[in-house]
Each structure stands twice: as C-alpha cells, then as structure tokens.
Amino acid sequence: MAVGAVADPWTGGDVGKKRKPGDPAPKLKMFAVRLPPDLSERVEDTASGLSLDSASLLRMMIRETLMIYERRAERIRSGLPPE
C-alpha cells in the first residue's frame, strides 16, 4: 500500500477514487454467523474498544488469521498431518 494511502475495510486494498455512477459494485459474499452470547459480547466489546463495528472487526480477524487455516488445509490435502 502506498505511503499515506488508506486501507479499504472491504477489500483490504488501497482506497481508490470513488466509484462513478454505473461502475459495478465489488462482488461481495455475505456469511451469517451465529455466536453464543458470551462470544458475541466479547466481539462487541473488542470492536468498541478499537472503534470498529463488529462486522469490521470480524473481517479484520479473518484477514489476519485465514492464512493459518489455508496452510493447514493444504497440508491435509497433501496427505500431511496438520501442524
């Protein structure tokens, strides 16, 4: 990301120019997740402490940890035990 650029909360990339009327919207997929009350409270408290909404916090958490699970899945597909 360029110096002084702002990260797009949806894609993690640089925020470019605003979309012009008629430009296609980014393709997004929505996931519905059920959380037990204690976990949802922790997510909401953490998001509030970081000045984020819960959805932004969860996107950030997924982005930061998904590679761990991708590597684990690749090892399993290759016939190796997960780390």
pLDDT in tens, 13-61: 554 566 777 778 778 889 999 999 999 999 999 999 999 999 999 999 9
Distance CA 11, CA 63 (A): 9
Domains in the chain: how many in total?
1
For residue 10, tell me if it sits in a domain.
Answer: no
For residue 80, tell me if it sits in a domain.
Answer: yes
For residue 76, tell me if it sits in a domain.
Answer: yes
For residue 8, tell me if it sits in a domain.
Answer: no
For residue 82, tell me if it sits in a domain.
Answer: yes
pLDDT for the residue numbered 9: 55
Confidence tier at 1 by pLDDT (50, 70, 90): very low
| Closest among 13, 62, 65 to 33, alpha carbons compared | 62
Q: Residue 68 sits in which domain range? A: 53-83
| DSSP for residue 17 | S
pLDDT for the residue numbered 82: 84
* pTM exceeding 0.75: no
> Does residue 3 have a pLDDT over 50?
no
Distance CA 53, CA 46 (A): 9
pLDDT for the residue numbered 13: 55
Listed in sequence order, the residues at least 6 apart from 14 whose beta carbon sits closer than 8 Å to its beta carbon are 1, 2, 5, 6, 7, 8
